[in-house]
């Protein structure tokens, strides 16, 4: 325990904040790290895909993982530089197999190497059906497609991912979140939005008809405002999925990049929590649109973390990251992004929550403003450094050196 942490702990105690309790709470929070940052959302299918879905990673920084083995090696490095015990979020087209199954033929065995890797490292796994980068997604319609044959293909794919996710959860003894995002929408203004949304609703019902053990697998549905090729209308809007999640008792996914840039996504948490049991949070950083930049510890992320803590939503919220930047070192993007989320959570846990809430209940707006602003000067960095030291995770210049050394090691991949 460092002298600076001792001093910081005493200073927080003066504000009636227990720094040790904050560290204990942070150590219990697992963040789901997205596999697709490591290879630019390419996947490892042996069948050639097409562009359907509007997924786009920009840049060509050297070092992209080309195989499952390379991706797992990159993840091993990244996890070793992130304090705490976390999870991996795996998309269905990251299968690790010598076979060439189409999406409606995938089975658990195609992902067994990922499960064995996760078990060896004590990690949890989450999962996602992949409704993009496939010939049957080229119309930007999948579950909402007017062609029943295409809908059937994607319904089968989604149903299989639920089975796979459930088996992953059973094998690892940790609930696997199976998050459903579809790119369905229209580039220009449609005349029959209702028909498309009815098809999507019915397809979801069919896809999720098979009961699963909730302790093993949790369904989640994810909305989006718009995307490339679906600028005029997204079938699975926020209102659509909020209604579906509330009615069907599945988790609602809020992605910070999937709303209008002027919307405060943190503000939505307390509202949706009154209607749904479980929340999945995808932390991202949109810039003008859903561009998925590496997250910073900026006001948006700190507001999100504070809302989770102050609203008591951490036990009901699964936190995952969702960004992909190929203009910088991919492993660095993982490490910095996850650590920034952890820093934001720690800052929220170290705020004088009880005093702030009591002042607000008394309608003393002046005191609330003073307390909130003065709390910004508390020594959060010293507590974060202690958290990293206890986990044997580097900070500062040591972290920079580690990240640069690993990037140099993988740069020759081409």
pLDDT value for 54? 54
pLDDT above 70 for 406: yes
Rounded CA gap, 310 and 381, in Å?
21
Do residues 248 and 214 lie in contact, with contact meaning Cβ atoms separated by under 8 Å? no
Mean pLDDT throughout 38-43?
A: 94
Question: Residue 244 — very low, low, confident or very high, per pLDDT cuts 50/70/90?
Answer: very high
What tokens appear for 202 in the block? 């019915």
Give residue 285's pLDDT band: very low, low, confident or very high (50, 70, 90): very high
Does residue 335 sit within a domain? Answer: yes
Q: What is the DSSP string of 48-115?
A: ----TT--------S----SHHHHHHHHHHHHHTS-S--EEEEEGGG---SS---GGG--GGGGHHHH
Decide if 121 is inside a domain. yes
CATH number of the domain bearing residue 240:
3.20.20.150
Q: Is residue 191 assigned to a domain?
A: yes
Count helices and strands in the chain by DSSP H and E runs: 14, 10
With 90 as the cut, is the pLDDT of residue 185 above it?
yes
Q: What is the pLDDT of the chain when averaged over all its residues?
A: 96
257-261, 362-366, 373-377: segment of lowest average pLDDT: 257-261
Which value, to the nearest 10 degrees, does the dihedral of the CA atoms of residues 394, 397, 401, 402 take? 10
List the catalytic residues. Answer: 181, 222, 224, 255, 258, 282, 290, 292, 322
Evaluate whether 32 touches 251 at the Cβ level (below 8 Å): no
Q: Which of 207, 212, 211, 217 is nearest to 244 (CA)?
A: 207
pLDDT in tens, 304-328: 999 999 999 999 999 999 999 999 9
Interval 219-231: pLDDT, tens = 999 999 988 889 9
Q: Give pLDDT tens digits for 68-104.
A: 999 999 999 999 999 999 999 999 999 999 999 999 9
pLDDT at 414: 67
User: Is 17 part of any domain?
Assistant: no
For the segment 254-260, the average pLDDT, to the nearest whole number, is 95
φ, ψ for residue 384, nearest 5 deg: -60, -45
- The rounded distance, in Å, linking the Cα atoms of 84 and 342 is 9
* Residue 226 confidence (pLDDT): 86
Q: Is the pLDDT of residue 40 over 70?
A: yes
- Asked if residue 310 is part of any domain, the answer here is yes
313 SS3 class: coil
Burial of 36 (0-12, 13-18, 19+ CB in 10 A): buried
Q: HEC profile for 208-261?
A: CCCCCCCCCEEEEEECCCCCCCCCCEECCCHHHHHHHHHHHCCEEEEECCCCCC
**Average pLDDT for 246-270:** 96
Residue 80 pLDDT: 98
Q: How far apart are CA 361 and CA 347, in angstroms?
A: 22
What is the total count of domains within the chain? 1
Contact 71, 35 (CB under 8 A): yes
Alpha-carbon distances of 310 from 25, 222, 269, 336, 369, rounded to whole Å? 13, 24, 11, 25, 16
Decide if pLDDT at 1 tops 90.
Answer: no
Mean pLDDT, range 381-389, rounded to an integer: 98
Q: Tens digits of per-residue pLDDT, 100-150?
A: 999 999 999 999 999 999 999 999 999 999 999 999 999 999 999 999 999
* Residue 407, in any domain of the structure: no
Predicted pLDDT at 326 = 95
Per-residue pLDDT band for 57 (boundaries 50, 70, 90) equals: confident
Q: Which domain holds residue 62?
A: 30-349
Over residues 219-245, the mean pLDDT reads 95
Q: Which residue has the higher pLDDT, 78 or 290?
A: 78
CA distances from 231 to 234, 256, 372, 410 (A): 7, 18, 40, 37
- What number is the average pLDDT over the span 171-177? 98
């Amino acid at each position: 325990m460092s002298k600076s942490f001792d001093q910081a702990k005493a200073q927080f105690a003066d504000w009636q904040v227990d720094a040790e309790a904050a560290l204990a709470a942070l150590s219990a929070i697992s963040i789901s790290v997205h596999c697709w940052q490591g290879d630019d959302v390419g996947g490892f299918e042996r069948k050639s895909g097409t562009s359907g879905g509007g997924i786009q990673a920009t840049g060509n920084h050297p070092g992209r993982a080309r195989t499952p083995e390379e991706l797992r090696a990159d993840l091993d490095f990244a996890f070793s530089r992130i304090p705490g015990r976390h999870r991996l979020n795996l998309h269905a087209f990251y299968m690790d197999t010598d076979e060439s199954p189409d999406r409606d033929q995938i089975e658990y065995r195609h992902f067994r190497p990922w499960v064995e890797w996760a078990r060896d490292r004590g990690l949890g796994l989450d999962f996602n059906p992949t409704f993009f980068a496939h010939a049957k997604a080229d119309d930007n319609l999948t579950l909402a497609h007017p062609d029943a044959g295409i809908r059937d293909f994607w319904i089968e794919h989604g149903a299989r991912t639920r089975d796979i996710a459930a088996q992953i959860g059973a094998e690892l003894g940790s609930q696997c979140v199976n998050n459903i995002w579809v790119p369905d929408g229209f580039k220009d203004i449609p005349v029959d939005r209702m028909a498309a949304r009815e098809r999507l609703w019915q397809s979801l019902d069919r896809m999720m008809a098979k009961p699963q053990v909730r302790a093993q697998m949790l369904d989640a549905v994810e909305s989006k405002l718009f995307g490339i090729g679906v600028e005029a209308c997204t079938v699975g809007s926020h209102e659509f999925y909020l209604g579906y999640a509330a009615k069907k008792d599945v988790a609602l996914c809020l992605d910070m990049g999937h709303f209008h840039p002027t919307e405060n996504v943190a503000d939505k948490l307390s509202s949706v929590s009154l209607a749904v049991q479980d929340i999945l949070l995808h932390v991202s950083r949109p810039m003008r649109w859903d561009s998925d930049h590496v997250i910073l510890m900026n006001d948006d992320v700190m507001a999100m973390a504070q809302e989770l803590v102050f609203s008591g939503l951490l036990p009901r919220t699964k936190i995952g990251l969702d960004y992909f930047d190929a203009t910088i070192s991919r492993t660095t993007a993982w490490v910095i992004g996850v650590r920034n989320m952890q820093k934001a959570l720690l800052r929220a846990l170290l705020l004088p929550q009880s005093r702030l809430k009591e002042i607000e209940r008394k309608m003393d707006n002046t005191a609330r403003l003073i307390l909130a602003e003065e709390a910004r000067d508390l020594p959060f960095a010293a507590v974060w450094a202690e958290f990293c030291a206890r986990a044997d995770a580097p900070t500062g210049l040591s972290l920079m050196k580690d990240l640069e050394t690993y990037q140099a090691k993988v740069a020759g991949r081409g």
